[in-house]
Structure 1
Amino acid sequence: MSDLSLERLVNATLLVPFPGAAAPRWVLEGLERGVSGVTLFAINGNVPGAGELAALTARMRQVADPLVAIDEEGGDVTRLAHETGSPYPGSAALGALDDPAVTRRVHRSLGAELRGAGVNFDFAPSADVNTADDNPIIGTRAFGSDPELVARHITAAVSGLQEAGIVACAKHFPGHGATSQDSHLEVPTVDVDLPLLERREMVPFRAAIAAGVQSVMTAHIRVPALTGAAPATFSSAAIDGLLRGTLGYEGVVVTDALDMRAASGAMGIPEAAVRALVAGADLLCLGSKEFEDSVHAIRERIMEAVREGRLSGDRLERSAERVAALRAWLAVPRTAEVDRAVGLEAARRAVRVTGSPAVSASPLVLELQAPSNIAVGPVPWGFSPWVPDTVPVDVATADPGELLARATGRPLVIVVRDAHRYAGHRALVSALVAARSDAVVVEMGLPVWRPGSSAYVATYGATRANARAAAEMIGLVGEESEAGGPITSSEAG
């Protein structure tokens, strides 16, 4: 095999990142030399607004026909609406509603928005079964903890996205829902036997495959009974054995970002890339900061592995064939209309209420500030778009007495996010509710823990749509439509 042919095969495995709102020359030249595509990151400034994003993707298509990938789950994890919060509720809310037709509509509309911006590959939906309450990385990103429910909605989400002409990606194989560690920071372990993995984690992935999902993303997690000491991304038993063999999946396998510590922390990204390809991956999501020099080093290491016999050229050729088949699928015309109204409709129907949460005029709204995980990022959440004087509360320094004094003579609304994961948040809420049993508590994460308040509202997510639905339920804002044009990060609150 000539060096030029080998380079093109290696390039076909790469999804590269870049900084800014315009593709730099090295990216355009790489696309001309067979680089499969790019991954867009809001933190890189790739998504400043719908118009700019469309111009960016159009420029790349002047030199090639790239895969343009993004991590847009339409819930708490949003890139298109990273400055405002998504107008679509996420998976947990859709699972709580449990209307697959609505899940399909949400994802078809989201797909139409992506397609309009020139994106054709979405790293969504999550097929994880979230069985660990303290899961720091999945949580509201999963449709739920019941495998059959997750399977119903995976089928609907995959169908909706792909009806809009977007490559859907079932993730995180073989299932990240039973972990209590974040794979961005360490290697999580799911210590279950294979029969349990089959009857729990595999149920949604089987459903996604049956629905014709065009890609599956590997997780950087250990399942000792399946992968031994290695993460699934580097395990041929997981990819070639379970996914392709037992489950019969024939499409594209893409890695989760290789810059995550669970993947490359001990070896570096170039070596991680080689090991993922040896295990059976077809496309490499490199991460957010692997620019020109890093891409060159990764390419050289993969080519060296082929020359040394660690990685076969046949393996790369099979991956190139799968990627070519994916491009052929994308070439078939598909259309869908943006249906922004379905987002608020679904969020309203997903709200679950205990007691009578309606409040009179001039309530005091306290929002307990909760950290976002790395996947979510710094996306705004809460009631401030509709209650401008909402009070952000730093739990570490908060004085319950002072907060209660501010609420004297006023209704009290306490907004939390995954309170079950933070002892300090639970302690503060309990102290406030002990003095004000009439307080309304709004949980915008998973409603695992609840205090003894007389009124409790669970939204199953912290998107803009979830917040609006809860604000209406409490009476902080009247019911209005939020339907509108395409998502843009410059959209006003």
Structure 2
Amino acid sequence: MAIDPGLRRLALRTLLAAFPGTKAPEWAARLLTEGLAGHTLFGTNVADPAQVGLLTAELRTVRRDALIAIDEEGGDVTRMAHRTGSPYPGNAALGTVDDPDLTRSVYAAIGTDLAAAGITFDLAPTVDVNTADDNPVIGTRSFGADPLLVVRHATAAIEGLQAAGVAACAKHFPGHGATTADSHLELPTVDAGLTLLRHRDLPPFAAAVAAGTQAIMTAHIRVPALTGTGPATFSHATLTGLLRGEYGFRGAVVTDALEMKGAALAAGGTGEAAVLALAAGADLLCIGARVNLELVDLVAAEIVAGVGDGRLTLSRLEDAAERTAALAGWTQRPATPPRHDAGLGYAAARRAVRVEGSLVELGAPLVVQLESGHSMAEGRVPWGLKPHLDGTEQVSVVAADTSAEALAERAGSRPIVVVGRHTHRAQAARALIETLAARHTVAVVEMGWPASWRPIGARAFVTTYGASHANGRAAAEALGLTATS
């Protein structure tokens, strides 16, 4: 059955697609001529800033106001610096310093870098209040566990980013910080009443609206008191009633990637998820990272079918397309991105380092990096101290497959510095460190979200609040292990 071309174009105007490779395939450019809102760039699209600039210029020759989006949060989530790690600390480090002017400057610098590469829409900042130490997907992406602190820094981040002419997108509404499951893999539940949500999770989003954020991203989480049995992305009460009605947000409501299992499984497929999200009040739909022409056509066809069978009204689809066009129009305004010092991110990361205990007698150590996994939001990005060491020996080990005796023997008379991420979450990692600390001079560098666990007997515990390139250098400098320190 033929699809109405006018409706198909309207549907495409609500979609953010993606494509593989460092050059745009023919179909990706052609979809822009057919109305597609734009594309999101991922690490697979990025070789270096100059290449990204050529890529975005090519896309913009097809349609000047095409949205070119990216997940560039600084810290642990970076696409532009996915090969080396970000030169900026992430939100947890900035929240620890608690200097809103610094946060504003760092986000202005990120925005300036993106604008120079032709990127107009940053899917950042994360403004979730991270109240769960074991949160597998937010953690160091959050400014902290205190709602008022997150409010201060959410405001500063949005102001900084948008001062550079790059649209900000506060995420993940109504708050992903209390979850202990990853919405990329399942549908997490936040079992909290509305009173708690209003006190703990929602204030940063109210602040984001007040700061003029151009977009807010939905979370694929279930909050029974608010969303019922489905995710917030499909909840009319959440997106239209709360965000639009109560908080007065007039910008674009953007979905997290609809390929994520928190959405796709709940809906029965990506196309069905698109219809449900639009009907609930979303305007711009992120399809995901693994996108091809067939998937875009499928989603667009399902949206058109939804209008035909009554799941989605034509007026709601038109409204979504208009809001997305308004977002694209905002990105076309003239802007003069502020200039910044190339070392800004490294200086900020140094201010975030916290040392408990003594770093005396830790010279010339054996550095032991505990291998760790990564969330799908982070991707596989290099981390740790190794790029910054002045010749100090480092070994990388899996805690469960390593004995304290073997490491102590290798170290000999040298102290041991153990570097990890979210070390408190892994029993094998905790046991290894505690066994080492009982018989050896040991310091621990925690580069993930810290918890209350501290190993008995450790000489020092160093917290960086993130694992970016900047955080790694700051830790190495604090330990006196860099040639420049």
Does 1:473 pair with 2:478? yes
Distance 1:366 1:360 in 2: 13
Question: Which residue of structure 1 lines up, in the alignment, with residue 356 of structure 2?
Answer: 354
Does 1:392 pair with 2:396? yes
Q: Please report how far the alpha carbon of residue 478 of structure 1 lies from its aligned counterpart in structure 2 after TM superposition.
A: 4.2
Does 1:335 pair with 2:336? yes
Distance 1:386 1:161 in 2: 29
Tell whether the 8 Å contact from 1:269 to 1:298 is kept in structure 2 after alignment: yes
What secondary structure is seen at the aligned counterpart in 2 of 1:385? helix
Distance 1:93 1:450 in 2: 19
Tell whether the 8 Å contact from 1:110 to 1:338 is kept in structure 2 after alignment: no
Question: Which residue of structure 2 lines up, in the alignment, with residue 442 of structure 1?
Answer: 445
Does 1:457 pair with 2:462? yes
Tell whether the 8 Å contact from 1:106 to 1:339 is kept in structure 2 after alignment: no
Per the normalisation by structure 2, the TM-score is: 0.96
Question: Which residue of structure 1 lines up, in the alignment, with residue 45 of structure 2?
Answer: 46
Equivalent position to 1:370, from 351, 369, 372: 372
Does 1:404 pair with 2:405? no
Matched residues, percent identical? 55
Instruction: Output one character per residue of 1:12-42: Cα deviation in whole Å (capped at 9) or x when no partner.
Output: 1010111111111111111011100001111
Does 1:218 pair with 2:223? no
Distance 1:358 1:156 in 2: 37
What secondary structure is seen at the aligned counterpart in 2 of 1:180? coil
Question: Which residue of structure 2 lines up, in the alignment, with residue 488 of structure 1?
Answer: none
Per the normalisation by structure 1, the TM-score is: 0.95
Equivalent AA in structure 2 for residue 462 of structure 1: A
Pick which of 451-460 and 159-168 moved more: 451-460
What secondary structure is seen at the aligned counterpart in 2 of 1:10? helix
Equivalent AA in structure 2 for residue 16 of structure 1: A
Equivalent AA in structure 1 for residue 403 of structure 2: D
Distance 2:163 2:361 in 1: 42
Q: How does 1:70-469 map to 2 (within 5 A)?
A: 70-266=70-266, 267-336=268-337, 337-359=339-361, 361-387=363-389, 389-436=393-440, 438-448=441-451, 449-452=453-456, 453-469=458-474
Equivalent AA in structure 2 for residue 51 of structure 1: A
Tell whether the 8 Å contact from 1:68 to 1:121 is kept in structure 2 after alignment: yes
Tell whether the 8 Å contact from 1:125 to 1:154 is kept in structure 2 after alignment: yes
Q: Please report how far the alpha carbon of residue 441 of structure 1 lies from its aligned counterpart in structure 2 after TM superposition.
A: 1.1
Q: Please report how far the alpha carbon of residue 386 of structure 1 lies from its aligned counterpart in structure 2 after TM superposition.
A: 2.2
Tell whether the 8 Å contact from 1:270 to 1:301 is kept in structure 2 after alignment: yes
Count of residue pairs brought into register by the alignment: 476
Structure 2 residue runs of 5 or longer lacking an equivalent are none
Equivalent AA in structure 2 for residue 251 of structure 1: G
Question: Which residue of structure 2 lines up, in the alignment, with residue 491 of structure 1?
Answer: none
Tell whether the 8 Å contact from 2:362 to 2:479 is kept in structure 1 after alignment: no
Distance 2:229 2:348 in 1: 42
Q: Please report how far the alpha carbon of residue 361 of structure 1 lies from its aligned counterpart in structure 2 after TM superposition.
A: 4.6
Distance 2:437 2:26 in 1: 58
Moved beyond 4 Å, runs of 4+ = 358-361
Distance 1:431 1:370 in 2: 19
What secondary structure is seen at the aligned counterpart in 1 of 2:198? helix
Structure 1 residue runs of 5 or longer lacking an equivalent are 481-493
Distance 2:445 2:483 in 1: 18
Distance 1:341 1:106 in 2: 10
